[in-house]
Amino acid sequence: MKLMKTFLAAAVSAAVATQAMAAELEKPDFYGFLSAGVLKVEGEDAEADAFEIELGLQGKVALQEKLNLNYAVEVDLAGAANSADDPSTGRDGEADIHVKEAKFWLPTRYGMFVVAPRGTSGQWRDIYGPINHYEYNESHADLNPDGIFAQPDRTSGTLAYHTPWFLNTKAVVAAITLNDSNDENVDGRSVRLVHRSGDLSVAIGTTLLMQKQLPPFATDDYLITAAGASYKIGGLTLGATWENNRDSPYPLDPEGKADYDAYGVSAYYQADNGAGIALGFKEKNHDYDAADNSVYTLKVEQRLTPSVKVWAETGQYDKPAVVQGVKVIDTNYAIGFNVTF
Q: What is the pLDDT of residues 114-147, one digit of tens each?
A: 999 999 999 999 999 999 999 999 877 665 677 8
pLDDT of residue 182: 61
CA 191 from centre of chain = 15
Which of the four pLDDT bands, split at 50, 70 and 90, describes residue 98? confident
* Higher per-residue pLDDT: 264 or 65: 264
Residues 6+ apart with CB under 8 A from 202: 194, 195, 196, 227, 228, 229
Q: Single out the residue of 138, 143, 170 nearest to residue 154, CA to CA.
A: 143
Sort 242 into a burial class: Cβ within 10 Å, 0-12 / 13-18 / 19+: middle
Which of the four pLDDT bands, split at 50, 70 and 90, describes residue 220? very high
In a 13 Å sphere around the CA of 117, the CA atoms on its Cβ side amount to 6
Q: What is the pLDDT of residues 282-293, one digit of tens each?
A: 999 999 998 899
Q: What is the pLDDT of residues 8-20, one digit of tens each?
A: 555 555 555 545 5
Q: What is the pLDDT of residues 147-188, one digit of tens each?
A: 899 998 888 899 999 999 999 999 999 999 876 666 667 889
Which of the four pLDDT bands, split at 50, 70 and 90, describes residue 59? very high
pLDDT at residue 5 is higher than 80: no
What pTM value is reported for the model?
0.86
pLDDT at residue 40 is higher than 50: yes
Q: What is the pLDDT of residues 273-332, one digit of tens each?
A: 999 999 999 999 999 998 899 999 999 999 999 999 999 999 999 998 877 667 788 999
- List residues bridging with 242 in a β-sheet: 227, 263
pLDDT at residue 236 is higher than 50: yes
Mean pLDDT for the chain overall:
88
pLDDT of residue 95: 56
